[in-house]
Structure 1
Amino acid sequence: MMKKVRIPNRDIYGYIIGVKKVKVNWRCPYCGEKMGETKPYTFYEKGKRYTIDIWYNKCGHAVKHHDLEIIK
């Protein structure tokens, strides 16, 4: 299953340079279950506001943005 989500776009040093929308495999990388529904989440970093997607998985695994399998 594929889903488009907004994730932080960071440079090689870890500094945020914006938000990017990517297609990802919407299965938990730990157990293979379908991941939860996305919700917008707004945060502030270095005085700027960013809105990304977050979700909670029924399986209980916490999947971070950098753990997502991005589909090219």
Structure 2
Amino acid sequence: MPTTQHHNSTERRTVRIPGSQDHSGHHPITVTLRWACPTCGGPRGEIRPAISYDGSRQLACDGWTNPCGHLDTYAAVRVEARHHDNG
């Protein structure tokens, strides 16, 4: 089996995400996450530059699309990071 099909469930990656739902006066925060989909445990997607919109402001941050199709929201990632003391 090619190594690209293997998933290291202990891999961790650091990403920049919005620090809150409302970007007013906020900057991205940096969190380190276990690089596995919280729904199915498969790998999270490759990190790419992204723009988050709060309805009136834009914030440059990181984004990814999970190959499994499960959605990672920034709100859920903030909770995950707090829960695992990764903030």
Tell me whether the two structures share a fold, i.e. TM-score over 0.5: yes
Q: Provide structure 1 residue ranges, at least 5 long, that are not aligned to the other structure.
A: none
Match of 2:75, SS state, is helix
Corresponding position: 1:57 with 2:75: no
Which residue identity is paired with 2:49? Answer: P
Whose helix proportion is higher, 1 or 2? 2
24 and 58 in structure 1: CA distance in 2 versus 1, 3 angstrom threshold? same
CA contact (8 A) 2:18 2:52 kept: no
2 and 15 in structure 1: CA distance in 2 versus 1, 3 angstrom threshold? same
Match of 1:31, SS state, is coil
Q: Provide structure 2 residue ranges, at least 5 long, that are not aligned to the other structure.
A: 1-10
Kindly report the root-mean-square deviation, in angstroms, between the aligned alpha carbons of the 2 structures.
Answer: 1.8
Corresponding position: 1:26 with 2:35: yes
Please tell me whether Structure 1 or Structure 2 has the larger radius of gyration of its CA atoms: 2
Residue of structure 1 equivalent to 2:18: 8
User: Which structure has the higher relative contact order (CA within 8 Å, separation 6+)?
Assistant: 1
Match of 1:59, SS state, is coil
Whose strand proportion is higher, 1 or 2? 1
TM-score, length-scaled by structure 2: 0.66
Tell me how many residue pairs correspond in the alignment: 68
TM-score, length-scaled by structure 1: 0.77
